[in-house]
Amino acid sequence: MNVLGLEARQVDNSPGQKPILYLEGVSVSFDGFKALNNLSLYIDTGELRCLIGPNGAGKTTLMDVITGKTKPDSGSVYFGQTLDLLKMDEPAIAEAGICRKFQKPSVFEMLSVFENLELALATHKGVWATLFAKLNNHQRERIEQVLETIGLTEHRSQLAGILSHGQKQWLEIGMLLMQEPKVMLVDEPVAGMTQQEVERTAQLLLSLQGERSIIVVEHDMEFVRSIAQHRVTVLHEGSVLTEGTMEEVQNDPRVKQVYLGD
Ligand SMILES: Nc1ncnc2c1ncn2[C@@H]1O[C@H](COP(=O)(O)OP(=O)(O)OP(=O)(O)O)[C@@H](O)[C@H]1O
C-alpha cells in the first residue's frame, strides 16, 4: 500500500501478452522534415510505458498520430487487433477508448472537484443539463471510486480553482478515468510539481497500470525511474533509438550520447 492507499498493480509481462497498440513503419513529414521516421512501437495491454528522448525527438508527434490529430504519410497504426486508427477521426478514436492528458491541467476552476468528475461523465448533454441531472447509483459510485483513486475524497466539495497544481493534475487524470479509457496518453505529468506530488503521481500511475495501458512522456528521469517497471522507449530523430529496462537504457552509450549525458 502507498500513501494514496493504493496498491500498485503487477503487470503480466509474460510473452504472448497481446499488444493494445501497434505502430509500424510510421513516418510524418512537415515540409520535408521527418518528425517521425519509419517508427515502430508496440504497447502491451495493461502496460505502463515511459517514452523519453531529447527535445524534437518526435514524442508529441507520436501522441498526435495515436490520437488522430496528425495523419502519417505512411505506416500503420492499430488499436487492439482490428481497429485501424488511420481510418478514424479524433472523436472516434477518443470514443474507442484512447484518451490524452496534456501537460497543463485543464479543469473547470469554478466548479467543485465532484462536479468536475460529474461533468466528465457527460456524453452529449452539455454542462448545465449534466450538472442538474440526477446521478444514478452507478454514476455516484463511479465518482466515489475515482475520488479515492486520485486521493481527493476529502476535497470533493472544494472548488477546483483552489487546488494545488498537483491536485489539479490528479483531478484531470480522474476526469479521464471517468470515461473508462483503455489507453491513456499522459504528457509530462509531473512538470511543476513538488517532490511529494511527484511521488504521489508515481503511485497513482502505478496503481492504474494493468487495468489501463498508459504511455507517459516525461523528461524527469527520477520520476521515470520510479514508474518504469517494464520497458522504457527512447526516441531520437523520429525513430526508436532503443527499448529496454530503465537500467539497460541508462547504460546504453547511444542514449548517453543523445540524451542522458555521461
Ligand atoms: N506542425 C509542425 N510543423 C513543422 N514542424 C513540426 C510540427 N510539429 C512538430 N514539428 C517538428 O517535428 C520535430 C518533432 O517534434 P515533437 O514536438 O514531436 O518533438 P518532442 O519529442 O515532443 O519534443 P519536446 O520534448 O521538446 O516536446 C521537431 O523538430 C519539431 O520542430
Q: Over the stretch 105-159, which tens digit does the pLDDT of each residue have?
A: 789 999 999 999 998 886 555 656 666 667 788 889 999 999 999 999 999 999 9
Structural domains in the chain (count): 1
Q: Let me know if residue 9 belongs to a domain.
A: no
CA angle, 72 then 90 then 26, to 5°: 20
- In this prediction, residues 226-246 reach a mean pLDDT of 94
Q: Over the stretch 208-219, which tens digit does the pLDDT of each residue have?
A: 999 999 999 999
Q: How confident is the model at residue 43 (pLDDT cuts 50, 70, 90)?
A: very high
How many angstroms separate the alpha carbon of residue 27 from the centre of ligand 1?
13
The answer to whether the beta carbons of residues 37 and 204 sit under 8 Å apart is: no
Q: Let me know if residue 12 belongs to a domain.
A: no
Q: What's 187's domain CATH number? A: 3.40.50.300
- In this prediction, residues 25-33 reach a mean pLDDT of 95
Reference 112, options 147, 137, 62, 67; nearest CA is 147
In the 8-state DSSP scheme, what is residue 87?
G
Ligand 1: does its nearest atom lie under 6 Å from the Cβ of 234? no
Ligand 1: does its nearest atom lie under 6 Å from the Cβ of 56? yes
CB half-sphere exposure, 40, CA atoms < 13 A: 3
Give nearest CA residue, ligand 1 atom 24. 55
Reference 5, options 203, 199, 185, 155; nearest CA is 203
Strand partners, 185: 100, 215
Give nearest CA residue, ligand 1 atom 18. 58
Give nearest CA residue, ligand 1 atom 17. 60
Give the ligand 1 atom nearest the CA of 64.
18
This prediction's pTM: 0.89
Give nearest CA residue, ligand 1 atom 7. 30
- Please list the alpha-helical segments (H only) found in the chain: 59-67, 90-96, 113-120, 127-132, 137-149, 165-178, 195-208, 221-227, 246-250, 253-255
Q: Let me know if residue 10 belongs to a domain.
A: no
Q: Let me know if residue 2 belongs to a domain.
A: no
Q: Let me know if residue 219 belongs to a domain.
A: yes
Q: Let me know if residue 248 belongs to a domain.
A: yes
Q: Let me know if residue 61 belongs to a domain.
A: yes
Please give the Cα distance from 115 to 185 (Å, whole number): 23
Please give the Cα distance from 71 to 86 (Å, whole number): 7
For residue 123, the Cα-to-chain-centroid distance in whole angstroms is 21
Please give the Cα distance from 171 to 105 (Å, whole number): 9
User: Does residue 235 register a pLDDT over 70?
Assistant: yes
Give nearest CA residue, ligand 1 atom 25. 55
Q: Over the stretch 55-98, which tens digit does the pLDDT of each residue have?
A: 999 999 999 999 999 999 999 999 998 899 999 999 999 999 99
Task: Give the DSSP letter string of 201-226.
Answer: HHHHHHHHBTTBEEEEE---HHHHHH
Ligand 1: does its nearest atom lie under 6 Å from the Cβ of 60? yes
The answer to whether the beta carbons of residues 190 and 218 sit under 8 Å apart is: yes
Domain that holds residue 74: 19-260
Q: Let me know if residue 113 belongs to a domain.
A: yes
Probe target for ligand 1 pocket from 55, 104, 220, with the most ligand atoms within 8 Å of CB = 55
Question: Which conformational region is residue 231 in: left (phi greater than 0), alpha (psi within -120 to 50 degrees), or beta?
Answer: beta
Which pLDDT belongs to residue 206?
96
Which pLDDT belongs to residue 262?
54
For residue 127, the Cα-to-chain-centroid distance in whole angstroms is 25
Reference 196, options 219, 226, 162; nearest CA is 226
